[in-house]
Amino acid sequence: MRVALALISILLPLSLSLACPPNAGYVGAIYKQGSDLNSLMEFLKASGIASSMEVGPFNFSPYSNFSYPSIYISIGSYEEGGSIKAYVFPGSSYTLLMVETDTNLSEAPLVYAESLLSGYLNPELIVNVSSSPNNWVPPVPLAEWSKLEKGEELKISVYKCGFIYSKLRRPQIEKVGVIANDIDYSLSFDMIRDAFERRGVGVDYLGSGARALIAAQKYRAVIILGGPKAPIVGRGVIPIMGEERKELGERGWVIVTRPWGTGIAVVIAGADRYLTREAVKKFLSSELFDQVVKVVKEGREMKRVSEKKGLVELVSSFGRCGYQEGPSLSVTVRGSYAYANYSLGHANPCAKFVLRGYEMEGNRIEIELSTEETAEICVQCIGVIYANFVIGPLPPGSYELCIGGLCVPFRV
């Protein structure tokens, strides 16, 4: 692949250039792919990515009046840099995705933007990545795109010494990369690694910061643990989750999939660290897990993977020592979801409930459970088994929930 080099000329004398230090920079990727405003708008609307868009001429330096027409997209934030300011320059043959970055010309925001927009702009079609400080006018990525798309040489004015950074993307790594903070790593990483390795897929822990986002771009599949409130990771998952953040608040956990780089991203988030761990367990026993394994092994394109959710989800079940004469069932409601807590006395605490199925007839929901032993050797005490359910979404109305012959009315 050919990498275009920009022509640089210094216009200001040294005495003035010292008064114009860069306070930001731009890094951009050029795709050998055409694009237009309407198709980009349609993609953003359908993708679920939290974003806003503006069209017009934009200025890219505090030291120049130079402006250029482009599509500006704000897509949330990443761990080290606040709001992602992305610019798309559409063309018939080449498209430029350029983002604002820091004076060290970190690739992190570009990698993040590339991954979020990979359902529209194919990362495999990137032919060049370049960057420059914001006292280079116009930015180097824009000059390189102009040469490829329009055949026009844009002269770059340098207001202070800087540098150009340009390279091609590395090949994919046929493994799963995991991004998680220390808390979610300690609770869930070993479980994820063991499950994938049993299927012949390697797993790497990438960390939790901007470097992790850069490293994740090279993986066919990336799993991000934690929701919007998770330390470090939280800010990065906000635009990925989009409107499905509301479901996390109502349901207690959520699994979100998005195109990522040339593969798939799976965000597994719980309302707290323990619900995140429970959501990981659900993911590893789901059809979605099987599909992610195929993405990594076969490298096949997967624009979107859907997790099939039932009306009733068994979030967690466990046993502990205690005594309870009969079954107990309670229901609370938040939004369009009902949260049920069920418990039953058992011969010992080493058991849990398994969801066998459910049936909804009119506004009556009946859940069928069975028990499963959790240990061959158990402490000698009478136990109680507990189960926590999420039911929904449900339309407004009156309902009745029944488990093991015990029924409780509730209203959404």
CB 261 within 8 A of CB 216: yes
Per-residue pLDDT for 368 more than 70? yes
Q: Band of the pLDDT at 85, cuts 50, 70, 90?
A: confident
Read off the pLDDT of each residue in 271-291 and give the average, rounded to a whole number.
85
Q: What is the pLDDT of residue 5?
A: 34
E strand spans, 63-208: 67-78, 82-89, 95-101, 126-133, 136-137, 156-158, 165-167, 173-179, 203-207
User: Is the pLDDT reported for residue 121 higher than 80?
Assistant: yes
Q: Which pLDDT does position 9 carry in this prediction?
A: 37
Q: What is the chain's alpha carbon radius of gyration, rounded to the nearest angstrom?
A: 26
Spatial contact of 331 and 342, defined as CB atoms under 8 Å apart: no
Residue 203's pLDDT is: 94
Residue 155: pLDDT band with limits 50, 70, 90: confident
- What pLDDT, on the 0 to 100 scale, is given for residue 167? 41
pLDDT digits (tens, 9 = 90+) for 4-29: 333 333 333 333 333 356 778 899 99
> Is 376 a residue whose pLDDT tops 80?
no
CA dist., res. 114 & res. 263, Å (int): 12
Per the prediction, the chain carries an average pLDDT of 79
Measured torsion, CA atoms of residues 101, 103, 107, 109, in degrees rounded to the nearest 10? -20
Q: Which helix (H) or strand (E) holds 107?
A: none
25-31 and 95-101: which strand pairing?
antiparallel
195-199, 231-235, 262-266, 345-349, range with the lowest pLDDT = 231-235
pLDDT in tens, 296-336: 887 655 544 444 456 888 877 888 888 888 899 999 887 77
C-beta atoms surrounding 366 within 10 Å: 17
CA-to-CA separations, 61 to 26, 31, 101, 185, 392, in angstroms, rounded: 10, 24, 13, 41, 50
Q: Locate 234 and state its tokens.
A: 């939280």
Report the SS3 class of residue 399.
strand
* Structure confidence by residue, pLDDT tens digits, 42-61: 888 887 776 778 888 888 88
Query: How far, in Å, CA of 229 to CA of 233, rounded?
Result: 8
Residue located via tokens 């950074």: 165
pLDDT grade for 196, boundaries at 50, 70 and 90: very high
- Give all domains of the chain, ordered by start, each with its CATH number: 8-167 (no CATH), 173-298 (3.30.379.10), 312-411 (no CATH)
CB within 8 A of 389, min separation 6: which ones? 312, 313, 314, 315, 339, 340, 341, 342, 367
Which range, of 43-47, 81-85, 157-161, 202-206, averages the lowest pLDDT?
A: 157-161
In sign, the C-alpha dihedral spanning 255, 109, 70, 59 is: positive
Position 244 scores a pLDDT of 64
Where does 173-283 show beta strands of DSSP type E? Answer: 173-179, 203-207, 219-225, 253-260, 263-270
What would the pLDDT profile of 230-257 be if each residue is shown by its tens digit?
A: 666 666 666 666 666 666 666 677 788 8
- Crossing angle (nearest 10°) for helices 273-284 and 190-198: 0
Over residues 342-366, mean pLDDT = 89
- Look at residue 166 in the predicted model and tell me its pLDDT: 39
Higher pLDDT, 198 or 245: 198
The mean pLDDT value for 114-118 works out to 84
pTM for this model (two decimals): 0.48
What is the mean pLDDT of the segment spanning 344-360? 88
